[in-house]
Amino acid sequence: MNETLLMIPGPTRVAPRVLKAMSENIVNHRSALFGKILTETTQMMSDVFRTSNKSYLITGSGTAAMEAAMANIIQPGDKILSVVGGKFGQRFMQIVDAFGGEPESIEVEWGEAVNPQEIKNYLDNNPDIKAVTVVHNETSTGVANPIKEIGKIMQDYDALYVVDTVSSLGGDEVDVDGYGIDICVTGSQKCLAAPPGMAAITLSDDAWEIVDQIEPQSYYLNLKKYRKSGNAEPPETPYTPSVSLMYAMHEALNVIMEEGLNQRVKRHQLAAKATRNAIKALNLELFPKEEVSSTTVTAINIPEGVTDAELRGTMRNKYHVELAGGQDHLKGNVFRIGHMGNITHRELITTISALEMTLRELGFEIEMGEGVASVADVYLPENL
């Protein structure tokens, strides 16, 4: 039994009814019964993406979907521009490289968001860019990039607009059709609050046109096969999918539909605001600039005089709240509070109270209650 409260930027806490859905008997993945579940799940997935295009579910992590996006559009030598302001922006470049593309980048200081104008300038000077990749929510730095504004720029260029919404979809505002996104990918275990192991991808007509022109450098992630199988009667996946995870996605998406997507985003925005307010009340420092800070994860500088191990170790071992550390060069310098998925006032109060006690125990002069009061304040009816 594990009762630790997961406040990391994925995997997130999964609701009992979603966990329970996984214990349903396995069915034949090539049957009308499964076809119905697949159809409903992919339709809800498209609704959450806010697209009229079909979505496809891939058994694999969000990285598998990022790879699917690249493996199906890159031919050797193709130039792909990636906005890089954190670990996941870098990952896109590494994937481009693995498939023989030429990775180019706009480097953004970690903790800042890209200025859309930079993308415009880059494309003006490099008309042969085949696609631009943007990580909506850079999980590693707690920064949200302005994908809506970038979309307005991208509509003037031929380059495909590829957006990673792994840690934002279902928690922050994403409108695939509205923003003109050509390829959008996400993962199950973040704001969608399903267990990890499933990824989703959706493609515009423009994207399919490119996909149809090339031979993908992958068999497992060949999107043309996903499209063909998805159009079969009954609809299926090209290779055996994780039936149990499909049940879980189906139920997790049901939960999202019941809550309503707008309401869900508002709930995440509140959680982000409450977390930031509490952090400031405890005299801690946000890592990213506040105006670009994420709706789903807050990165915080580790205060002087305490180590990451002490801080997160105390939180975990004494108060049973699991936070995330920093990644790559931020390791040891920041810690991160994930507030994505099924996060309400209750989980934040628990987390911030545990943080207050941890800081006090580690020798900080904390005014007990300041943090939790800041959380509560955001949720007071008169402030909603």
Nearest to 9 by CA among 162, 171, 146: 171
Can you tell me whether residue 108 is helix, strand or coil?
Answer: coil
How many angstroms separate the CA atoms of 99 and 92, rounded? Answer: 11
* Residue pair 349/375 in contact by the 8 Å Cβ criterion: yes
DSSP-assigned beta bridge partners for residue 169: 172
* Residue pair 336/325 in contact by the 8 Å Cβ criterion: yes
Q: What is the DSSP string of 22-42?
A: TTSPP--SSSHHHHHHHHHHH
The minimum distance between CB 70 and a second copy, in angstroms, equals 8
The minimum distance between CB 79 and a second copy, in angstroms, equals 18
The minimum distance between CB 200 and a second copy, in angstroms, equals 14
From the number of C-beta atoms within 10 Å of its C-beta (0-12, 13-18, 19+), residue 49 rates as buried
The minimum distance between CB 41 and a second copy, in angstroms, equals 14
Pairing of strands 324-325, 143-144: unpaired
What letter represents residue 76's amino acid? P
Count of positions (residues) in the chain? 384
Among residues 179 and 226, whose Cβ is nearest to a second copy? 226
Among residues 32 and 257, whose Cβ is nearest to a second copy? 32
The minimum distance between CB 132 and a second copy, in angstroms, equals 19
Nearest to 166 by CA among 178, 154, 174: 174
Among residues 238 and 288, whose Cβ is nearest to a second copy? 238
Among residues 55 and 242, whose Cβ is nearest to a second copy? 242
The minimum distance between CB 31 and a second copy, in angstroms, equals 7
Nearest to 170 by CA among 261, 297, 269: 261
For 158-315, list the strands marked E by DSSP.
Answer: 160-164, 183-187, 198-203, 297-301
Peptide bond preceding 235 in cis form (omega within 30 of 0): no
Among residues 10 and 371, whose Cβ is nearest to a second copy? 10
Among residues 279 and 321, whose Cβ is nearest to a second copy? 321
Among residues 294 and 374, whose Cβ is nearest to a second copy? 294
Among residues 49 and 247, whose Cβ is nearest to a second copy? 247
Long-range contacts of 356-365 (CB under 8 A, 24+ apart): 356/282, 357/318, 357/319, 358/311, 358/314, 358/315, 358/318, 358/319, 359/282, 359/303, 359/306, 359/311, 361/314, 361/318, 362/305, 362/306, 362/310, 362/311, 362/314, 363/305, 363/306, 364/303, 364/305, 364/306
The minimum distance between CB 271 and a second copy, in angstroms, equals 19
The minimum distance between CB 247 and a second copy, in angstroms, equals 10
Which residues sit at the interface with a second copy, rule CB under 8 A? 1-4, 6, 8, 10-14, 19-20, 22-29, 31, 33, 59-64, 66-67, 71, 91, 94-95, 98-100, 187, 189, 195-198, 215-222, 239-245, 248, 322, 324
What letter represents residue 334's amino acid? V
* Residue pair 198/242 in contact by the 8 Å Cβ criterion: yes
The minimum distance between CB 360 and a second copy, in angstroms, equals 24
Can you tell me whether residue 162 is helix, strand or coil?
Answer: strand
The minimum distance between CB 59 and a second copy, in angstroms, equals 5
Among residues 62 and 371, whose Cβ is nearest to a second copy? 62
Among residues 153 and 201, whose Cβ is nearest to a second copy? 201
